[in-house]
Amino acid sequence: MKDEFLDDAKAHTLAKHKILQEYLKGWLPILAQGQRNRLLYFDGFAGCGELTGEHPGSPVVAIRTAMQTQSTLNVPLVVKLVEKDPDRYRHLLSIVRRERSELADRIQVEDPICAECEEVVTELLDEHAQKPLGPAFFFLDQYGYSGFSMDLVRRILSHRMCETFAYLNWQRMHPYFEDPTKAEAFTRALGGEEWREVQTLSGQRRHQRFKEIYIDSLRSRAKAKYVYDFAMRDVNHQVIYWLFFCTNSLKGLEVMKKAMWDVDPTGRFEFSDQDVGQGMLTSYTSYTPSLLADDLDRVLRGRELTSDELKEHVLTRTPEYRFADAVDILKKRGAVKQHRKAGKNVYHFCTPPPRTPGLFGE
């Protein structure tokens, strides 16, 4: 009976949970530093708490990751879970009570709520209209595309130190763009009707343009300063869904990109069930320090950037989050000169000197 409502532990689902786990490992200790307010982890589509094969669901992944970092927490972490399906909710409640018996005092897992995610988050936002909500991380792992609105993301991100990590299912959306009964849900999800532009498109251009429109809406309507996505693909290498991370913190973006690199070390920021057990990831071209060096040289030549400015460029304009090795490569080429200005490291990207032929004309 239980397996009837448990989600399958598919490879891409486990990869999604790996990203969540690695992000929380970095996020919790960093945000706890110097905090007086509690930390909040909110899972708006918590499911049953476990997957088939007794794999942990996202709530358990979060709780157990928090337990691993509890020695770094100098303020409480509150975990709020929402699941609207009554059967799933009841199973989740039993899982939470089991996990809660092992917790330290600083990790406070509340009883799950059986309700719609948007209603619960809206109530929470209303309660915090005049007081801090953050630091808070909202995992919006909906089952399709209509579980929360763009306006809800906007209200969350309007609070200081609040972030969202949200799921959007492409396979459940694109067959219905011409269905007038679905139009209202699409418009609510994006906050506007720009999605109609993809009705006339097909193939890769259709899904690529839709992703661009959604990211534009996250930036313009939800006011997310930084947006990064990760694609999940099926055994046929077709896009199933995307995960969209939204933050107004450059440090938050850095931690999330590290987590994504742990799942996709090529820097493509996608995971395919087709690759599982095939060793196919090694056949993709990885984004190496040498490639980053070439990109920095091409884009930044003639400019001078502080270390902070260079870090932001790398985090927001390239797949990487590290740049020290790339800068060393450029220094050896004579394409970067480093000096100190006003107490900061400054990098001048310049034209390298012409190479002198060696004895044998190399």
Q: Percentage of the chain surpassing pLDDT 70? A: 94
Determine the average pLDDT of the residues in 298-319: 96
Residue span of the structural domain in which 226 resides: 2-283
d(CA 287, CA 303): 23
pLDDT tens figures, 254-273: 999 999 999 998 889 999 98
Indicate yes or no: pTM above 0.85.
yes
Asked if residue 254 belongs to a domain, the reply is yes
Decide if pLDDT at 330 tops 90: yes
pLDDT at 357: 59
Same domain, 311 and 219: no
Q: Compute the average pLDDT of residues 229-249.
A: 96
Boundary-marking domain end, from 283, 314, 340? 283
Q: Residues with Cβ < 8 Å from 182, sequence gap 6 or more? A: 176
Structural domain total, the chain: 2
pLDDT tens digit sequence for 164-221? 999 999 999 999 999 999 999 999 999 999 999 999 999 999 999 999 999 999 999 9
Let me know if residue 119 belongs to a domain: yes
Question: Do you find a cis peptide bond into 135, omega within 30 degrees of 0?
Answer: yes
Contacts for 27 with CB less than 8 Å, ≥ 6 apart? 137, 252, 255
pLDDT > 50? residue 281: no
Q: How confident is the model at residue 278 (pLDDT cuts 50, 70, 90)?
A: low
- Res. 360: pLDDT tops 70: no
Instruction: State whether 144 and 207 are in the same domain.
Output: yes
The answer to whether 60 and 97 are in contact (CB under 8 A) is no
Find out whether 46 and 7 touch, Cβ atoms under 8 Å: no
Instruction: Say yes or no: 81 and 170 in one domain.
Output: yes
CA distance 109 to 131: 22
179 and 204, same domain (yes or no): yes
Q: Cα separation of 220 and 143, whole Å? A: 25
SS3 annotation, the chain: CHHHCCECCCHHHHHHHHHHHHHHHHHHHHHHCCCCCCEEEEECCCCCCEEHHHCECHHHHHHHHHHHCHHHCCCCEEEEEECCCHHHHHHHHHHHHHHHCCCCCCEEECCCECCCHHHHHHHHHHHCCCCCCCCEEEEECCCCCCCCCHHHHHHHHCCCCEEEEEEEECCCCHHHCCCHHHHHHHHHHHCCCHHHHHHHCCHHHHHHHHHHHHHHHHHHCCCCCEEEEEEEECCCCCEEEEEEEEECCHHHHHHHHHHHHHHCCCCCCEEEHHHCCCCHHHHCCCCCHHHHHHHHHHHHCCCEEEHHHHHHHHHHHCCCCCCHHHHHHHHHHCCEEEEEECCEEEEEECCCCCCCCCCCCC
Q: What is the mean pLDDT of residues 58-83?
A: 94
Residue matched to tokens 């077709």: 238
Residues 35, 72 within the same domain: yes
What average pLDDT does this structure show over 130-135? 93
Same domain, 312 and 255: no
Q: Which amino acid is at 75?
A: V
Task: Assign residue 182 the CATH number of its domain.
Answer: 3.40.50
Residues 31 and 136 in one domain: yes
The pLDDT, as a whole number, for residue 168 is 97
pLDDT at 358: 54
Q: Is the pLDDT assigned to residue 84 strictly greater than 70?
A: yes
In a shared domain, residues 235 and 326: no
Q: How confident is the model at residue 277 (pLDDT cuts 50, 70, 90)?
A: low
Of the residues 283, 312, 332, the one at which a domain ends:
283
Q: Is residue 324 part of a domain?
A: yes
Check whether 51 has a pLDDT greater than 80.
yes
pLDDT at 335: 96
Residues β-bridged to residue 56: 50
**Is residue 61 domain-shared with residue 129, that is, in the same domain?**
yes
355 pLDDT more than 80: no
Q: Which residues pair with 247 in a beta bridge?
A: 226
Q: Given a cut of 70, is residue 361 above it in pLDDT?
A: no
Answer with the one of 252, 283, 314 that is the final residue of a domain.
283
Same domain (yes/no): 91, 199: yes
Report the chain's mean pLDDT, rounded to a whole number.
Answer: 92
pLDDT higher than threshold 60 for residue 7:
yes
Do 223 and 141 reside in the same domain of the chain? Answer: yes
137: in domain: yes
| pLDDT the model gives residue 346 | 96
Q: Are residues 37 and 77 in the same domain?
A: yes
Number of residues written out for the chain:
362
Percent of the chain exceeding pLDDT 90 equals 81
Spatial distance between the Cα atoms of 156 and 176, rounded to a whole number of angstroms: 28
